Structure 1
Amino acid sequence: MFQRLRDDIRCVFDRDPSARHTFEVLTTYPGLHALLLHRLSHGLWRLRLCWIARYLAFLGRWLTGIEIHPGATIGRRFFIDHGMGVVIGETAEIGDDCTLYHGVTLGGTSWGKGKRHPTLENNVVVGAGAKILGPIRIGEGARVGSNAVVLRDVPPGATVVGIPGRIITPRSDEDRRREDMALKMGFDAYGTTQDMPDPVATAITRILDHLHTLDQRMDENCHALRAMGAQVDDSHIQEIRADELGDLASLPSQGQTGAGSPGRGNT
């Protein structure tokens, strides 16, 4: 029991850079308090002392703002950052080294008595406000983006974003070409979202594709006319400077954003 407590405290230091010392973690971290109360209530639940277990879970919710049903199964080194509004249902199963941020729901989609809540395998991170609903499985090492609504199984190592949740695929050569074109313009359209889908970034992507095609066609035409003897300038086209883009240049760059994605606590 004491070894598990030490593991729970150590994982706070590993995942929250604002943690300073053990006494602070023990006395001011509601995620740790909720977990310790759950460990006790879950033991009572397994002994079929259901009312006492439920009442202890009720006290835990009142004290921490985190609701964990005593029937839920939670592994080692589980960390809830901030914690307010987290709800974990009765048949939820959480593996080792998982992290949940505030506002996360591991909920059910039916009134049946059987398995109706999600299963999180080891090393899963769930961003703030995400909802994972139903008896689905989130594979080992998966990431669920903030405010995503996940209704289907997620394979190991995948990242899920959006409503409903969609699995993000690795960036292709075409995506990298678009990023290079954006840098040429002095504007990083992907910095506002990184891997998160965004309608503005999508629209700008289409513009970048069009500009790239026009640039290529103009270059080919100039070279062809020059070969035919026409007096045309086929030199390198002057790059667009960031200050020529007006308001676009003032949009946040990749290093300035990152909200909405799972990550370390920044208390």
Structure 2
Amino acid sequence: MGIIKNLKEEVRIIKERDPAIHSSMEVLLYPSFKVMIHYRLAHKLYLSGHYFWARYISQRGVRKTGIEIHPGAQIGRGFFIDHGNGVIIGETTIIGDNVTLYQGVTLGGTGKEHGKRHPTIGNNVMISAGAKVLGSFTIGDNSKIGAGSVVLSEVPPGSTVVGVPGRVVKRNNASLPQETMNQTDLPDPVREDITVLQRENSELTNRVLEMEDELKQLRRLVVMSTAAGAQMKKEDQN
């Protein structure tokens, strides 16, 4: 894709996904737009072996936007970073098409290992604010990562992940059109666990109360039986 087509696509994507943008001119001020221009140029230099100049241009983009995308990262079409400050994308990260990241997201490694050490993000994935995806594994297509989650292992396609460490709380998401890629339409596993505990505690309490009633009835029967036995013995003696 040529430079002009790239720029037009970036403008279209930002206007589609951020309702705060009211004109194409505003896009020129948008951090995601600025950083992607730096990234596209830096990536070409990186692929040509000009690593110093690639990093130089990349770092200029970091200073202007607060978004750090290593020039070695591979990014597909339709990529969008909402707000973006604090986003970090590592060197061996691979990002598919139509991916949305929010501020504070890290696509990083777990140490000083070499080779493929950063995540692979599938198509139509949304990663919410502050989420950390660390390690060389795949986030499957059509997945959603909840805000503040820390993902350390493979995520199957069509999954919703929340928590620290991240866990799958929903499977088989349909294809995610942009209007459904929000950060609030996510399950709350902590609340669900608490609800289950409350229900089980209520059932246990009711059972204990039932057993106490049964015990009281048994005691009354024992008392009545003892009294009846004593009465019969007295009559026999008479």
Q: TM-score range by the shorter chain?
A: 0.7 to 0.9
140 and 205 in structure 1: CA distance in 2 versus 1, 3 angstrom threshold: same
**In structure 1, what is the Cα distance between the partners aligned to 2:93 and 2:194?**
39
TM normalised by structure 1 equals 0.67
Q: Distance in 2 between matches of 1:124 and 1:64?
A: 23
Contact 1:8 1:76 in 2 (8 A): no
Structure 1 residues 49 and 137, CA gap change in structure 2 (3 angstroms): same
1:8 to 7, 10, 20: 10
Cα deviation digits, residues 55-92 of structure 1 (max 9, x gap): 11111100000011000011111000010000000000
Match runs of 1:117-156 below 5 Å: 117-156=118-157
Following the alignment from structure 1 to structure 2, what is the Cα–Cα distance between the partners of residues 194 and 98? 17
Aligned to 1:43: 44
1:212 offset after TM fit, Å?
7.4
- By how many angstroms is 1:206 displaced? 3.0
Query: Partner amino acid for 1:21?
Result: S
- Residue equivalent to 2:25: 23
Change (3 A) 1:51 1:193: closer
Residues 1:211 and 1:92: Cα distance change in structure 2 (over 3 Å): same
Flag structure 2 segments of 5+ consecutive residues without an equivalent: 172-183, 211-238
Structure 2 letter corresponding to 1:107: G
2-structure distance, mates of 1:194, 1:100: 16
> How far, CA to CA, are the matches of 2:12 and 2:189 in structure 1?
35
Give the number of equivalent residue pairs.
Answer: 194
SS of corresponding position for 2:161: strand
Alignment match, 1:70:
71
Identical-pair percentage: 46
1:138, 1:153 within 8 Å by CA — same for their partners in 2? yes
2:198 is matched with 207
Q: Does 1:162 align with 2:163?
A: yes
Paired with 2:149 and 2:102, the residues of 1 have a C-alpha distance of: 12
Query: Corresponding residue for 2:178?
Result: none
**Cα root mean square deviation, aligned:** 2.4
CA distance in 2 between partners of 1:131 and 1:88 (Å): 10
Equivalent residue of 1:97, what SS? Answer: coil
SS of residue in 2 equivalent to 1:132: strand
State how far apart, in whole Å, the 2-side matches of 1:125 and 1:202 are. Answer: 25
Any unmatched runs of 5+ in structure 1? 171-191, 219-267
Name the structure 2 match of 1:58: 59
Give the SS at the match of 1:106: strand
C-alpha change, 1:193 and 1:143, in structure 2 (3 Å) is closer
Larger RCO (alpha carbons 8 Å, 6+ apart): 1
Question: Which amino acid counterpart does residue 138 of structure 2 have in structure 1?
Answer: R
2:187 to 189, 195, 199: 195
Q: Distance in 1 between matches of 2:140 and 2:196?
A: 31
